[in-house]
Amino acid sequence: EDMTTRTIDLAVIPGDGIGPEVIAEAMKVMKRALQDEQAQVTFTEYPLGAQHWLETGETLTDETLASLRGHDAILFGAVGAAPGDTRIPSGLIERELLLKLRFSLDHYVNLRPSKLYEGVPSPLAAPGDVDFVVVREGTEGPYVGNGGAVRSGTDHEIATEVSVNTAYGVQRVVRDAFERASRRPRKKVTLVHKHNVLVHAGHLWKRTVEAVAADYPGIELDYMHVDAATIFMVTDPSRFDVIVTDNLFGDILTDLAGAVTGGIGLAASGNINMDRTAPSMFEPVHGSAPDIAGQQKADPTAAILSAALLLDHVGLPEAARRIEEAVEKDITSRAEMSDVRATAEVGDAIAA
Footprint of a copy of itself on this chain (CB under 8 A)?
Answer: 90-91, 94-95, 99, 122-126, 142-143, 145, 147-149, 151-168, 171, 194-204, 207, 226-228, 230-231, 233-235, 248, 251-256, 258-260, 263-264
Among 9, 37, 94, 96, binds ligand IPM (CB under 6 A): 94
Under 8 Å between Cβ of 96 and 56: no
**Is 287 labelled a binding residue?**
yes
- Asked if 251 is an active-site residue, the reply is yes
CB 307, CB 313: distance < 8 Å = no
In sequence order, what are the beta bridge partners of 220? 188
Say whether residue 277 binds ligand IPM (CB under 6 A). Answer: no
Q: Which of 168, 227, 329, 339 is catalytic?
A: 227
Q: Closest CB to ligand IPM among 230 and 238?
A: 230
CB of 20 to a copy of itself, least distance (A): 22
Is 227 labelled a binding residue?
yes
Note whether 197 binds ligand IPM by CB under 6 A: yes
Residue 110 CB contacts under 8 Å (≥ 6 apart), including other chains: 102, 135, 136, 137, 138, 247, 250, 269, 270, 271, 272
Nearest Cα to Cα of residue 305 among 258, 341, 340, 339:
258
Query: Rule CB under 6 A: is residue 229 a binding residue for ligand IPM?
Result: no
Nearer to ligand IPM, 16 or 324 (CB): 16
Angle formed by the axes of helices 301-313 and 317-334, nearest 10°: 160
315 binds, among ligand IPM, a copy of itself, none (CB under 5 to 8 A by kind): none
Q: 110, 75, 138: which is closest to 323 by C-alpha?
A: 75
Q: Smaller CB distance to a copy of itself: residue 27 or 79?
A: 79
227 in catalytic set: yes
Kindly name the residue from 28, 143, 241, 330 that is annotated as catalytic. 143
Residue 196 in contact with ligand IPM, rule: CB under 6 A: yes
Strand arrangement, sheet containing 188-193: 39-45, 6-15, 73-78, 280-284, 268-272, 109-115, 131-137, 242-245, 188-193, 220-225
* 227 contacts ligand IPM (rule: CB under 6 A): yes
DSSP assignment of 66-80, as one string? HHHHTSSEEEEEE--
Taking the least distance from each CB to ligand IPM, the nearer of 34 and 165 is 165
Contact 127, 116 (CB under 8 A): yes
Partner from ligand IPM, a copy of itself, none binding residue 328, C-beta < 5-8 Å depending on class: none
In the DSSP assignment, the letter for residue 112 is: E
* Alpha-carbon radius of gyration of the chain: 20
Distance of closest approach, residue 53 Cβ to a copy of itself, in angstroms: 15
Residue closer to a copy of itself (CB basis): 12 or 208: 208
**Which of 115, 194, 241, 330 is the catalytic position?**
194
| 72: nearest Cα among 276, 248, 267 | 276
Residue 255 designated active-site: yes
Binding site for ligand IPM (CB under 6 A): 94, 98-99, 196-197, 227, 251, 285
Query: Annotated catalytic sites, by residue?
Result: 143, 194, 227, 251, 255
Per the annotation, where are the binding residues for Mg(2+)?
Answer: 227, 251, 255
